[in-house]
A and B are shown apart, each in its own frame.
Chain A
Amino acid sequence: VFLAESFELKAAGQQVNQQIHKWKESQRLFAESKDCGFEVKALEDHMKLVALQGTLEREIGEMFVGMTVTETVYKLLVLGHANRAAKVKTDLKVPEKRFAWLKVKALVEQRNWDALDKVLSRQIRR
Chain B
Amino acid sequence: MELLRAHISQTLLAALSRAGVSAGSKAVLVVDGALSGALSLGVEAAALRSAGVERVVALAELRSVQHSATLRVVVVLRPTLKEAKAVVDWLVVAASLGHPVHVLFVPRRSLVCERVFEDAGVSASVVLSALPIDILPLDDDLLSLELDNAAFRQLYLEKDPSCLHSVAKALLKLQALHGIIPKILGKGTNAHTLANLMLRMRREVDASSSSPESSSSLSSPSSSNSPFNVFPPKMDFDSIIILDRTVDLVTPLCMQLTYEGLVDEVFGIKTTFVQVNESFIATPANQQQQQATATASTNTPNSPIKTKKVSLNPVIDKLYTQLRDLNFAMVGAVLNQNARRIQDEVDTRHDAKTISQIKDFIGKLGGLEGDKAFLKLHTSIAEEITKRTQDPDFNKFLELQQNVLSGNQIPSQLDYLEEMVDKQAPLLQTLRLISLYSVVCGGIKAKQLELLKREIIQTYGIHHLTTLQNLHSLSLLTSLPQTSAFDTPLTVGTGPTIAPLKPSFANLRKPLAVIVDDIDEQNPTDIAYVYSGYAPASVRLVEAATGVGKFLGVGTAPIKPAVRMGGTASPARGARKERKVSWEGVEELARVVPGGAAFEMEQGLTDPNFVARSSVDKERKTTLVLFLGGCTSTEVSSLRFLSKGKGGRQFVVLTTGMLTGSRMIDSLVEKVDNVTGEL
Interface: A95 (CB within 8 A): yes
Smallest CB separation, A75 vs chain B (Å):
11
Instruction: State which of A10, A42, A97 has its C-beta within 8 Å of the C-beta of B670.
Output: A10
A41 to B245, CA, bound (A): 33
Instruction: State which of A9, A66, A97, A102 has its C-beta within 8 Å of the C-beta of B465.
Output: A9
- Interface hub of A13, A46, A97, A101 (most chain B Cβ within 10 A): A13
Please determine whether A9 and B458 come into contact, CB atoms closer than 8 angstroms.
no
- Interface hub of B453, B458, B461, B674 (most chain A Cβ within 10 A): B458
Q: Is the interface of A mostly helix, strand, loop or mixed?
A: helix
Please determine whether A66 and B450 come into contact, CB atoms closer than 8 angstroms.
no
- Interface hub of B418, B450, B469, B672 (most chain A Cβ within 10 A): B469
Say which one of B275-283, B363-371, B420-428 lies at the interface with A: B420-428
Smallest CB separation, A98 vs chain B (Å):
4
Interface: B601 (CB within 8 A): no
Interface: A18 (CB within 8 A): no
A6 to B463, CA, bound (A): 9
Please determine whether A66 and B676 come into contact, CB atoms closer than 8 angstroms.
yes
Cβ–Cβ < 8 Å partners of B465 in chain A: 9, 39, 42-43
Please determine whether B674 and A69 come into contact, CB atoms closer than 8 angstroms.
no
Interface: B128 (CB within 8 A): no
Cβ–Cβ < 8 Å partners of A43 in chain B: 462, 465
User: What string of 1s and 0s marks CB contacts (under 8 Å) between A31-50 and chain B?
Assistant: 00001001100110110000
- Interface hub of A69, A92, A102 (most chain B Cβ within 10 A): A69
Please determine whether B422 and A101 come into contact, CB atoms closer than 8 angstroms.
yes
Please determine whether B418 and A97 come into contact, CB atoms closer than 8 angstroms.
yes
B contacts with A, residue count (CB < 8 A): 32
Instruction: State which of B422, B461, B466, B470 has its C-beta within 8 Å of the C-beta of A98.
Output: B422
Interface: B228 (CB within 8 A): no
Interface: B455 (CB within 8 A): yes
Smallest CB separation, B467 vs chain A (Å):
10
Please determine whether B458 and A69 come into contact, CB atoms closer than 8 angstroms.
yes
Please determine whether B422 and A97 come into contact, CB atoms closer than 8 angstroms.
yes
Cβ–Cβ < 8 Å partners of B459 in chain A: 68-70, 98
Cβ–Cβ < 8 Å partners of B455 in chain A: 95, 98
Instruction: State which of B422, B453, B469 has its C-beta within 8 Å of the C-beta of A6.
Output: B469
Cβ–Cβ < 8 Å partners of B473 in chain A: 2
Please determine whether B462 and A70 come into contact, CB atoms closer than 8 angstroms.
no
* A-B contact number at CB 8 A: 78
Interface: B673 (CB within 8 A): yes
Interface: A71 (CB within 8 A): yes
Interface: B588 (CB within 8 A): no
Please determine whether B424 and A70 come into contact, CB atoms closer than 8 angstroms.
yes
Please determine whether A97 and B419 come into contact, CB atoms closer than 8 angstroms.
yes
> Which chain A residues numbered 83 to 124 have a C-beta less than 8 Å away from chain B?
92-95, 97-98, 101-102
Please determine whether A10 and B466 come into contact, CB atoms closer than 8 angstroms.
yes
Instruction: State which of A2, A10, A42, A101 has its C-beta within 8 Å of the C-beta of B672.
Output: A10
Interface: B620 (CB within 8 A): no
Cβ–Cβ < 8 Å partners of A3 in chain B: 158
Across the interface, name the chain A residue whose C-beta is closest to B463: A13
Please determine whether B674 and A71 come into contact, CB atoms closer than 8 angstroms.
no
> Which chain B residues numbered 637 to 679 have a C-beta less than 8 Å away from chain A?
670, 672-677
Interface: A82 (CB within 8 A): no
Interface: B494 (CB within 8 A): yes
Please determine whether A67 and B677 come into contact, CB atoms closer than 8 angstroms.
yes
Smallest CB separation, A58 vs chain B (Å):
19
A98 to B451, CA, bound (A): 12
Interface: A51 (CB within 8 A): no
Interface: B460 (CB within 8 A): yes
If A43-B462, A68-B460, A70-B458 touch, whether A13 touches B422 (CB-CB below 8 Å) is: no
Instruction: State which of B418, B421, B460, B466 has its C-beta within 8 Å of the C-beta of A9.
Output: B466
Smallest CB separation, A72 vs chain B (Å):
9
Cβ–Cβ < 8 Å partners of B672 in chain A: 10, 13-14
- Interface hub of B462, B466, B494 (most chain A Cβ within 10 A): B462
Interface: B454 (CB within 8 A): yes
> Which chain B residues numbered 451 to 492 have a C-beta less than 8 Å away from chain A?
451, 453-455, 457-463, 465-466, 469-470, 473
Please determine whether B674 and A14 come into contact, CB atoms closer than 8 angstroms.
yes
Instruction: State which of B450, B458, B494 has its C-beta within 8 Å of the C-beta of A94.
Output: B458
User: What string of 1s and 0s marks CB contacts (under 8 Å) between A56-71 and chain B?
Assistant: 0000000000111111
Cβ–Cβ < 8 Å partners of B673 in chain A: 14
Interface: A16 (CB within 8 A): yes
If A6-B466, A101-B422 touch, whether A68 touches B674 (CB-CB below 8 Å) is: no
Instruction: State which of A2, A13, A68 has its C-beta within 8 Å of the C-beta of B458.
Output: A68
Smallest CB separation, A45 vs chain B (Å):
8
Cβ–Cβ < 8 Å partners of B460 in chain A: 68
Instruction: State which of B462, B676, B677 has its C-beta within 8 Å of the C-beta of A42.
Output: B462
Across the interface, name the chain A residue whose C-beta is closest to B449: A38
Cβ–Cβ < 8 Å partners of A6 in chain B: 466, 469-470, 670
Cβ–Cβ < 8 Å partners of B158 in chain A: 3
User: What string of 1s and 0s marks CB contacts (under 8 Å) between B413-446 and chain A?
Assistant: 0000011011110000000000000000000000
Smallest CB separation, A57 vs chain B (Å):
14
Smallest CB separation, A7 vs chain B (Å):
9
Cβ–Cβ < 8 Å partners of B462 in chain A: 13, 42-43, 46, 68
Smallest CB separation, B529 vs chain A (Å):
37
Across the interface, name the chain B residue whose C-beta is closest to A41: B454
Cβ–Cβ < 8 Å partners of B450 in chain A: 38
A94 to B473, CA, bound (A): 27
Cβ–Cβ < 8 Å partners of B458 in chain A: 45, 68-70, 92, 94, 98
A38 to B464, CA, bound (A): 13
A92 to B455, CA, bound (A): 11
Please determine whether A42 and B418 come into contact, CB atoms closer than 8 angstroms.
no
Give A residues with C-beta under 8 Å from B: 2-3, 6, 9-10, 13-14, 16, 35, 38-39, 42-43, 45-46, 66-71, 92-95, 97-98, 101-102
Q: Can you name 18 A-B pairs with beta carbons within 8 Å?
A: A6-B670, A10-B466, A35-B494, A42-B462, A43-B465, A66-B675, A66-B676, A68-B460, A70-B424, A70-B458, A71-B676, A92-B458, A95-B418, A95-B451, A97-B419, A98-B421, A98-B459, A102-B422
What 5 pairs between A and B have smallest CB-CB spacing?
A69-B458, A98-B422, A70-B459, A13-B463, A101-B422
* New A-B pairs, 18, CB < 8 Å, besides A2-B473, A68-B460: A6-B469, A10-B670, A16-B674, A35-B494, A42-B462, A46-B462, A68-B457, A68-B462, A68-B677, A69-B459, A95-B451, A95-B455, A97-B418, A97-B422, A98-B421, A98-B458, A101-B422, A101-B423
